[in-house]
Amino acid sequence: MDIHAVKSSYARWAPVYDKTFGAATKAGRRAAVDYINAQTGTKVLEVGVGTGLALRHYRSDLQITGVDFSAEMLAKAKKKVQDLGLTQVEALLQMDARDLSFPDNSFDAVTAMHIVSVVPEPERVVAEMARVCKPGGKIIITNHFARETGVLSVVEKLSAPFANVLGWHSDFKINTVLKEPSLEVVKKDSLPPMKMMTFLVLQKKATHHAE
């Protein structure tokens, strides 16, 4: 996935995102936010904040920073924050998720909702998420991951060559986000629609030190 293809793809999708992909990924967003709201930490980073569909659901006492590479998506997110008076949102920043401009160990929780299969170099993105997460903190990922068998696995493989046009990798494998050595899986569940989505919680090892 080329970063310029991602940018142009989401510029096209931005006007209709909320009623298309936004509707299909609602369960994942709510699961991620509900999990974060139940934690004690207050500093949260949302990577790939998009049009800001999740922002209104965070606890009012949290400190939310959202980043996205798409200026068109961010413009819609900023309008939501202003229109709804979302005081828990501290900042919405245009940023490449492969190179987050935050110090190590900055956030209690980092979340990526349905974006790890749409970014270039997803392993690098997960590594950056781990870097900015505090030791013992949680990384919450919701995403579609490729199935190994069945009819849907065939469809995913056939769609794979069109990743730059569609804006996501249909054949994205879960092992891609499990390679980061500083993280361990603490929760993995299936989500609607039709259990096509996965809810994944990773914890940064408390003994891990950034190099």
Which pLDDT belongs to residue 23?
Answer: 57
Distance CA 64, CA 88 (A): 6
Residue type for 166, please?
Answer: L
What's 128's DSSP letter? H
Q: Whose CA is closest to 53, among 115, 120, 130?
A: 115
Inform me whether the pLDDT recorded for 95 exceeds 60: yes
* Torsion, CA 117, CA 122, CA 127, CA 129, rounded to 10: -40
pLDDT tens digit sequence for 164-190: 433 444 456 888 889 999 999 999 998
Distance CA 177, CA 128 (A): 12
pLDDT tens digit sequence for 113-155: 988 888 888 999 999 999 999 999 999 999 888 755 443 443 3
Distance CA 190, CA 136 (A): 24
**Do 198 and 189 contact (CB within 8 A), yes or no?**
yes
Question: Domains, the chain, ranges and CATH?
Answer: 3-204 (3.40.50.150)
pTM: 0.81
User: What average pLDDT does the structure give for the chain?
Assistant: 81
Distance CA 78, CA 93 (A): 10
pLDDT tens digit sequence for 49-81: 989 999 999 999 999 999 999 898 899 999 999
Which pLDDT belongs to residue 194?
Answer: 62
Q: How many CA atoms lie within 13 A of 44 on its CB side?
A: 29
Token pair in block for residue 38: 């139940």
Distances (CA, A) of 78 to 21, 61, 162, 182, 184: 19, 19, 30, 33, 33
Which pLDDT belongs to residue 10?
Answer: 53
Percent of the chain predicted with pLDDT > 70: 73
Which pLDDT belongs to residue 160?
Answer: 38
Provide the residue count of the chain: 211
CB-CB neighbours of 21 under 10 Å = 19
Inform me whether the pLDDT recorded for 158 exceeds 80: no
Report the run of H or E that residue 126 belongs to, with start and end.
helix 122-132
Which pLDDT belongs to residue 24?
Answer: 62
